[in-house]
Amino acid sequence: MIYLQLLWVFVKIGVLGFGGGYAMLSLIQHEVVDNYGWMTTTEFADMVAISQMTPGPISINLATYVGYTTAGIGGSLLASFALCLPSIIMVYLILRLFMKKKNNAFMTNTLKGLKPAIAGLIFAAGLAMMNMQNFVDFGLGQYNISVIICVLTFVASFFFKANPILLIVISGIIGFFVY
């Protein structure tokens, strides 16, 4: 049963995951945290951090982790494969049938129209992670270090394009000394 659920969830994510790794976070979060409760939101945040620091696609990392924690090594392989299955079919079909130049402009325009929605999708994933579990010292009369970390990281990443791994390491060091 769990295998069927894993297969269904990750095939769905593979079919609808437009716009790369971050865009898939929202889909994964909805299914894995909200719908099935396979992960808590802190675990999800931790896994995103670990995925950033290890090589490889973030969604494959998450699929492997979720599969492993719910159904062992078999589950991890199944979840990762399920995520790739739609891609296998689609790339094959595209190479076989639709490889014509004139479809290119149409596809680019479709993707262009999709982009603002994908941006909203990613933003929603970030917002859903803003809770007391991830911001442990949030509140009046507290130091709110977690909010400060979040704001500074945002500024460093958005305005100065700082290396995300460096930012994670610095935040980890701050966390070690503050908490």
Partner 1 sequence: MKKAFELFWSFFKIGAFTLGGGYAMLSMVEKAVVDQKKWIPNDEFWDMIAVVQSLPGVFAVNTALYVGHRVAGVKGAFAAMLGAIVPSITIILLLATVFHEFRDNPVVERVFKGIRPCVVALILAPSLRMIKSAKVTWKTAIIPIATVFLIWWCKISPAYVILTAIAGSIIYALIIRRRETARLRDCETTSGPEVPKSRSPEVPQNKEAKP
Backbone angles phi, psi at 63, to 5 degrees: -60, -45
Percent helix, strand and coil across the chain, each rounded to 5?
80, 0, 20
User: What is the separation of C-alpha 159 from the centre of its chain, rounded to a whole number of angstroms?
Assistant: 22
Find the shortest distance in angstroms from Cβ 141 to partner 1: 19
Find the shortest distance in angstroms from Cβ 6 to partner 1: 14
Whole-angstrom Cα distance, residue 153 to residue 148? 8
Select 2 or 60, whichever has its Cβ closest to partner 1.
Answer: 60
Q: Report the largest interatomic distance among the alpha carbons of the chain, rounded to a whole angstrom.
A: 63
Find the shortest distance in angstroms from Cβ 161 to partner 1: 9
Q: How many CB atoms lie within 10 A of CB 130?
A: 14
Cα end-to-end span (Å), the chain: 41
Select 1 or 106, whichever has its Cβ closest to partner 1.
Answer: 106
Find the shortest distance in angstroms from Cβ 10 to partner 1: 11
